[in-house]
Structure 1
């Protein structure tokens, strides 16, 4: 390229960029919901169908208590902690999750409050609604709002699954 042709080529590139106008990186409106996110109001059969597609792996029940339950989004907020697993009347399994409420006082070692939405409480989450994410458990079959709306679980109201038993739970890739 000659020294005289360079300014012409540079001018052509600048003219093209000016005429093209500014580009938009994102479209207007809300982003579409990714496939891994739970759909509001999913039924139990829909949760089971989606769980079967997550490559269920055998997991020892005793390895699940203590794991954090994460919301399936990039920031991965902690929703609660798995405390155990129980058998349902229909033969399925539920993970018992401790929700710490708004203040999370039990994480600080303080006495939990009995106020609704503030203190810790237990809920039974169907195993079909969760998946393994490394050392965590991800909530995949229901929204966090639906999780918080679950009734309080009464300890002793269901049969605990022994720690040595294995269940098949799906796996999920990271959300970022």
Structure 2
């Protein structure tokens, strides 16, 4: 068989494979939620227990504002942006997150977020419910639905954590 005939045969095989399309999944239906996904209805002690297992690392509070809050799934949708931290009455800390709706970041053509409200609002998320994911923050202890159901946070209603203080936050690896 000539070299030209071999190249032609290879081309036919490659074209056939390309036209065959992607294969079907082995199982039908949604795959089970990974262990890192938040469980609906988690209580504060459950969030704290899971947060302790994420290898908490010291983080300078002033380095957190401006980071994107991501949903812990492979596509990593943006849920909001960290604006600061405040102290709770029990001594813990809450991460203040700005949720932007259709009149927020999306109309500027910047990073779209997964909240469908109008305008933006601030919410206080327990620090135990988030973890560091590289240069971002991942929502680990709340579902996006519970995040959006949190009451609006009123600036000045709690004591701000100073930017030079350190806080211990867990770390997570990428979800893909």
Above 0.5 in TM-score? Answer: yes
Q: CA RMSD in A?
A: 1.9
Give the drift of 1:103: 4.5
- Structure 2, unmatched stretches of 5+, are 1-22, 110-115
Count residues with an aligned counterpart. 148
Aligned to 1:96: 96
Q: How far apart are the structure 1 equivalents of 2:130 and 2:148?
A: 15
**Equivalent in the alignment of 1:10:** none
In structure 1, the partner of 2:7 is: none
Structure 1 residues 77, 24: closer, same or farther in 2, change over 3 A? closer
Q: Do the aligned residues in 2 keep the contact of 1:131 with 1:139 (CA within 8 Å)?
A: yes
CA distance in 1, matches of 2:75, 2:103: 19
CA deviation after TM superposition for structure 1 residue 129, in Å: 0.2
Residue 56 of structure 1 corresponds to 56
TM-score, with structure 2 as normaliser: 0.79
Q: Deviations over 1:117-148 (max 9, x none)?
A: 21100000000000000000000001001000
CA distance in 1, matches of 2:81, 2:24: 41
Deviation (angstroms), 1:71 = 0.4
Q: What CA distance in whole angstroms lies between the structure 2 residues aligned with 1:68 and 1:135?
A: 8
CA contact (8 A) 1:105 1:119 kept: no
Match of 2:19 in 1: none
Equivalent position of 1:119 in the other structure: 119
TM-fit CA distance, 1:29: 2.8
Is the Cα–Cα contact under 8 Å of residues 84 and 95 in structure 2 kept in the other structure? yes
The change in CA–CA distance for 1:77 and 1:103 in structure 2 (over 3 A counts) is: farther
- Contact (CA 8 Å) 1:106, 1:120: kept in 2 or not? no
Gaps of 5+ in 1: 1-22, 110-115
Larger radius of gyration: 1
Deviations 1:68-127 (A, max 9, x none): 000000010100000000000010000000000245347729xxxxxx921100000000
User: In 2, distance between residues paired with 1:101 and 1:63?
Assistant: 25
Q: Deviations over 1:10-55 (max 9, x none)?
A: xxxxxxxxxxxxx974323321110110001100000000000000
